[in-house]
Amino acid sequence: MSLAAKVLKGDVQAAARLISLIEDESAEALKEMESLYPYTGKAHIVGVTGAPGVGKSTLMDNLIGFFRRQNMTVGVIAIDPTSALTGGALLGDRIRMQRHTADPKVFIRSLATRGWVGGLAKAAIGAVHVMDAMGKDIILVETVGSGQVEIDIVKAADTTLLVMAPGAGDEIQTMKAGILESADVIAVNKADKEGADRLKIDLAAMLEMKTQRPGDWLTTVVLTEAINDKGTDEISSMLLKHREYLKASGELPKRRRERAKLELLETIEGYLKDMIHNLDGGAYLEKLVDDLLKGKKSPQSAASDIKSRLAGKLTSSKEQE
Ligand SMILES: Nc1nc2c(ncn2[C@@H]2O[C@H](COP(=O)(O)OP(=O)(O)O)[C@@H](O)[C@H]2O)c(=O)[nH]1
Ligand SMILES: [Mg+2]
């Protein structure tokens, strides 16, 4: 039986193996994914984002508990683009979600950087497709609040849950990244700590300034105390409510269309980059970089040179690489 066929039957080991192949960008993974795609698109994908240490993993452990009580099957992907530098973060995630590791209806997978950070979001989205095809009802994707990977995951999610905690200047970071704009639900975690109420009020005030059209989803702020499993029902119900909103408003197909387009464009971008790297066995790119360093060319004119080379390549049937 193929790996894909096993995944469709819900085989956890096959799914884990396939995700590893995706991480390695193996050709076999592409082939297997081809037969999985028709079975995707059913799961509800929730991106869980926020600065390190705000309590995302602890909160997710509670969310898993809630959804399991609703008899939903759950997939969890924890990604950490910084783990190569800091180490240990993923281990912490695993420990905090340990309650559910023995539950066969919960599939938890961590992804760490293997060099190129850009590959991480791609691998995570691949892992989402695998869990979706496996038949998971809800997929939670945890990412730390840092730059591009986070933004890519937010784009890939149906619902974005932003987790914040009092202190540490989270507010400023969030505004910078524009993540607040894309948050559908906000958890102000560590409600046991000083400043949580204040943060909730400040966030509500900021959200009020957002331009709303009639019928738009109103981002809600919920206080949680993840270490004591407090606020879990409110936050989980809000996530399910958002899912209902997406369906009822027709927003879901729109988001999914955007997502499909983005994935397609990023895949093409990958192909083009590969082609550029392979021009004259890599020498062409290096030559242009030399020209840039020597001030002989601007990035624009170097890029224009590459464009002409590629255009020639794409139209010429004789030339092969
Ligand atoms: N005081 C307090 N600490 C919490 C709460 N939730 C999580 N923590 C602690 O915050 C730390 C970071 O939690 P973690 O879930 O790993 O955060 P993540 O990095 O966002 O995934 C851990 O020591 C948790 O026990 C909370 O509601 N109150
Ligand atoms: Mg974590």
pLDDT in tens, 273-321: 989 999 999 999 999 999 999 999 999 999 999 999 998 877 765 544 4
Residue 229 near ligand 1, beta carbon < 6 Å: no
Contact 14, 107 (CB under 8 A): no
Single-letter residue type at 82: T
Q: 253, exposed or middle or buried, with CB in 10 Å at 0-12, 13-18, 19+?
A: exposed
CA of 87 from ligand 1 middle (Å) equals 17
Ligand minimally distant from the alpha carbon of residue 164? 1
What pLDDT does residue 321 have? Answer: 45
Residue 57 near ligand 1, beta carbon < 6 Å: yes
Q: CA 154, CA 160: separation in Å to the nearest integer?
A: 6
What pLDDT does residue 270 have? Answer: 82
Ligand 1 atom showing the smallest separation from residue 89 Cα: 19
What pLDDT does residue 245 have? Answer: 97
Question: Which carries the bigger pLDDT value, residue 122 or residue 148?
Answer: 122
Mean pLDDT of the chain: 86
What pLDDT does residue 145 have? Answer: 61
| Mean predicted confidence (pLDDT) in 154-171 | 82
Residue 193 near ligand 1, beta carbon < 6 Å: yes
Residue 136 near ligand 1, beta carbon < 6 Å: no
State the pLDDT confidence band at 180, using cuts at 50, 70 and 90: confident
State the pLDDT confidence band at 96, using cuts at 50, 70 and 90: low
Residue 56 near ligand 1, beta carbon < 6 Å: yes
| Mean predicted confidence (pLDDT) in 92-105 | 72
CA of 26 from ligand 1 middle (Å) equals 36
Q: What percent of the chain has pLDDT over 70?
A: 85
Question: Which carries the bigger pLDDT value, residue 193 or residue 171?
Answer: 193
Contact 183, 46 (CB under 8 A): no
Q: Angle of helix 232-249 relative to helix 56-69, nearest 10 degrees?
A: 70
What pLDDT does residue 89 have? Answer: 52
| Mean predicted confidence (pLDDT) in 185-190 | 96
The helix (run of H) or strand (run of E) holding residue 160 is strand 159-164
What pLDDT does residue 176 have? Answer: 54
Residue 225 near ligand 1, beta carbon < 6 Å: yes
